[in-house]
Structure 1
Amino acid sequence: MVMAVAVVATLVCCVWALWPSVAVFDDDEVLFWVAPVIAIPVLVWLVLVIVAGVKYANWWRWGLLVPVFIIVTMVLAGIHAPGRIGWMMTRSEMDQAAAACETLDSGRLGVPYKSVTIGPYEFHHVSSDLDGDCIFRFSRYYPVVSSGFMYLPDGRTPTSTIDTRYVHLGGYWYYFR
């Protein structure tokens, strides 16, 4: 019974560690926080494995789920799968927002920038230009780190620099950081 509680606690911690990365596409901070969040259930699991190995013969049925959850969580965090899932769930809303980019553009005519929320994403501001490009900048880490999505309908590919990296998301969409 105690091993079952450890397994459920580990699963809850793994989901809790991955959930915030749905709303940020490709964030290295998620990898930083996954380890501490799942460290406590792993330590409890190690103690239980030692006790169960001595006293109970069938401990491994529940006990092996903990390392499986940990490995799956680390792999998902490492390949930024929750952020990609969040993007896929929000893609149609982002397409609509890109089509209405000019009305979302919150920095024109001296009007102060305002936050815009689209799906799970919160953007500090949205800007457009005459070419139809639309840039959505995340609120997270703004203004220290600028990251977000770019919609480039003319089909050109942005060039990554030392300061900015671009990831093609399909169609006319790019993630930048």
Structure 2
Amino acid sequence: MAVAVAAALLCCVWYMWASVRVFDDVDAVLFVVPALVVPVSAWLVLVIVAGVKYANWWRWGLLVPGLIITTMVLSEYYVPGRVGWMMSRTEMDRAAISCDSLESGRFGVPYRSETIGDYRFHHIGGGPDGKCTFYLSRYYPGSVSGFMYLPDGTIPISTIDTRYVDLGGYWYYFR
């Protein structure tokens, strides 16, 4: 049971660390769910055996579902992503004020990546009224996600295609 708990803990910590690095790491789910199959299967067998043989099985038996449920709740409220955001916030504020645009990729010149805080961006673009958009390299070109700075106070509205998460202080995460 201790090995199943340790394996489940390792999977959950790995997923949350991935979300810290990219704010909302949807791709990590594709890897963490199959990785959890083995410890959860072992846990299920051990719970059945322990329920029949041992009276105090529940102490260890509740750890695996507790870890998974805790990870799901923290991810639903973007807690790992917000931790990563807080670690990079100061540098992101400075970059938003200057809003330097990266090369556009025209005329055979590829996009140039830039790292700001803990995030790697493939493109940063400015707009009217001080708007600045930072596109994360992680999901490019399959899907677009990143951060948006809107100092004019406009509030973006989530749609079916794009979801916005308010980060406070004119910042939004979009996917």
* Equivalent in 37, 40, 51 of residue 39 of structure 1: 37
1:11 Cα deviation after fit: 0.9
Give ranges in structure 2 of 5+ residues lacking alignment.
none
- Partner Cα separation in structure 1 for residue 57 and residue 71 of structure 2: 22
Give ranges in structure 1 of 5+ residues lacking alignment.
none
The 1:109/1:117 distance shift into structure 2, 3 A limit, reads closer
Q: Equivalent residue for 1:107?
A: 103
Q: Equivalent residue for 1:151?
A: 149
Q: Equivalent residue for 1:175?
A: 173
1:130 Cα deviation after fit: 5.5
- Partner Cα separation in structure 2 for residue 76 and residue 33 of structure 1: 18
| Maintained 8 Å contact 1:133/1:153 | yes
Letter of the aligned partner of 1:106 in structure 2? L
> Secondary structure at the residue paired with 1:107?
coil
Q: Equivalent residue for 2:163?
A: 165
Letter of the aligned partner of 1:165 in structure 2? R
1:64 Cα deviation after fit: 1.7
- Partner Cα separation in structure 1 for residue 73 and residue 105 of structure 2: 46
Structure-to-structure mapping, 1:23-172, within 5 angstroms: 23-102=21-100, 105-107=101-103, 112-129=110-127, 131-172=129-170
Letter of the aligned partner of 1:107 in structure 2? E
- Partner Cα separation in structure 1 for residue 141 and residue 23 of structure 2: 17
1:161 Cα deviation after fit: 4.7
- Partner Cα separation in structure 2 for residue 56 and residue 68 of structure 1: 20
- Partner Cα separation in structure 1 for residue 104 and residue 27 of structure 2: 32
> Secondary structure at the residue paired with 2:55?
coil
State which drifts further: 22-31 or 36-45: 22-31
Q: Equivalent residue for 2:9?
A: 11
User: In the comparison of the two structures, how many residue pairs are matched?
Assistant: 173
1:144 Cα deviation after fit: 2.7
Superposition CA RMSD, Å: 2.4
Percent identity, aligned pairs only, is 65
State which drifts further: 80-89 or 161-170: 161-170
- Partner Cα separation in structure 2 for residue 109 and residue 98 of structure 1: 21
TM-score, normalised via structure 2 length: 0.83
